Amino acid sequence: MSGPPYPYPSRGIGAIGDFEIGISPIGEIPSFNIWSTIISQYANSPILTSIITSLATALDQTENFESLYDNIWNVATASGYGLDVWGRIVGVSRTLTVSSSTFFGFAQQAPTVDDFGPGGQSPFYSGSPTTSSYSLTDSAFRTLIYAKALANICDGSIPGINSVLLALFPGRGRCYVTDGENMTMTYTFEFLLTAVEVAIVSSSGILPKPVGVAATVVQL
């Protein structure tokens, strides 16, 4: 791209086409310099400069632009409502439905026979939850947004889905997907998932899955 250097940061004022990758500066938006609009013969007029300075201060939107970028536009720093907007853009919700898990025990605890688990794999029973819905924190929701954005452009291949898993659970251990070659696929995690993480994997729609293929989650 040819032309004069871009005078403002990428977050500043100007057309998107004016930004030159590797050349244009990136940083804070500079406040508007009113002195660039005042010709020299009026620079020492206290009344005129006071009026212009007061008007510029009242109309200056630099702080608002900074707030918009940091809290909404930039997904890396967005919070609260800003992340909710990004969630709607990529197609994922902050609120997940967490199914009731099994609990540690030696005897049947309810009318079903599969509601208790062995030691080391299930938590102690802490009473019935007040709700099955769970709202993710900003940090967890941001990770989910990144993973969903990656899933949106994923080609559905095994390496592609594995990339989504690694982005969703960085530094947790080995996690991967395998093809059962019989219209089934398995998401394998070589570490324990929390109830919320299980909900993210199974009900958030974050992991690509071919139509008609049954997917299961296995924790080793």
Domain extents for the chain? 31-72, 95-219
- 108 to each of 98, 105, 111, 113, 144, how far by Cα in Å? 22, 8, 8, 6, 36
Instruction: Quote the strand ranges of the chain, DSSP E.
Output: 95-97, 103-104, 116-117, 133-135, 175-179, 184-189, 214-219
Taking the C-alpha atoms of residue 208 and residue 56, their distance in angstroms, rounded to an integer, is 51
Is the four-CA dihedral 167, 203, 142, 189 of positive or negative sign? negative
pLDDT tens string, the chain, 220 residues long: the values are 444 443 444 444 444 455 565 565 555 666 667 777 788 888 888 888 888 888 887 887 777 888 888 899 889 889 999 999 999 999 988 887 765 555 555 554 444 445 455 444 555 555 555 556 778 889 888 888 988 888 888 888 888 888 888 888 888 889 999 988 899 999 999 988 877 787 778 777 788 887 888 888 888 8
